[in-house]
Amino acid sequence: MDIIKKVIVSEEEIAGIVERLASEINKDYEGKKIVLICLLKGSILFLTDLMRKLTVPCKVDFMLASSYKGGTKNTGKVEIKDGLSIDIKDQDVLIVEDILESGHTLEYIVNILNKRKPKSLKICTLLDKPKLRVADIQADYVGKVIPNDFVLGYGLDYDEYYRNLPFVGIINPKYL
């Protein structure tokens, strides 16, 4: 596939990451119920695979948030296009995110959710780019630290396409 320069997280590796993260979450939340908040659209595949491996009771809700406008650069301005339908007050909440880069979006969402007074609020991200971090935010559960290249696949898109790829790959620079 010409749009992919290099696969950096294979389908098999993703399955192993999901298994490991689910095991950590199951251990940490043993005896508790959690609310999983999926940040759409990129996290949907990760959420689906992750929640099938969870043994703790969980509810699921969604937020549509973005700081990209169809390109490869973060605009720095977060838009929330949809809110929660579940009351998270006094609930253990886990945000499920596809990729943590600058941290602007997650910082904004964490601030919004903390105002709703959850019992606890943690973050689980499939991919982490700590060298791009601008906001003072870290994930509690990290699947894999990756290089600062623009990536797509397994929910991550380029102009809304390529989310369906079963792996994560670096985009070919000629498309940027």
Say what the pLDDT of residue 82 is. Answer: 64
Catalytic (active site) residue 24: no
Say what the pLDDT of residue 56 is. Answer: 98
Say what the pLDDT of residue 67 is. Answer: 61
Q: Residue 58 and residue 92: Cα distance in Å, rounded?
A: 10
The token pair at 134 is 């601008």
Domains and CATH numbers, the chain: 11-147 (3.40.50.2020)
Amino acid at site 100: L
Nearest to 88 by CA among 60, 124, 122, 117: 117
The token pair at 85 is 């339908």
Say what the pLDDT of residue 69 is. Answer: 54
Say what the pLDDT of residue 175 is. Answer: 87
HSE value, Cβ hemisphere, 13 Å, CA-based, for 60: 13
Preceding amide of 41 cis, omega within 30: yes
Say what the pLDDT of residue 75 is. Answer: 54
| Residue of 12, 30, 101, 107 marked active site | 101
- Positive/negative CA dihedral, 164, 12, 20, 7: negative
Say what the pLDDT of residue 76 is. Answer: 61
Say what the pLDDT of residue 79 is. Answer: 74
Say what the pLDDT of residue 19 is. Answer: 98
The pLDDT averaged over each successive group of 10 residues in the chain (176 residues) is: 94 98 98 96 96 98 74 61 87 97 92 96 97 94 96 95 96 90
Strands (E), 20-159: 34-40, 58-68, 74-82, 92-100, 120-128, 141-145, 151-152
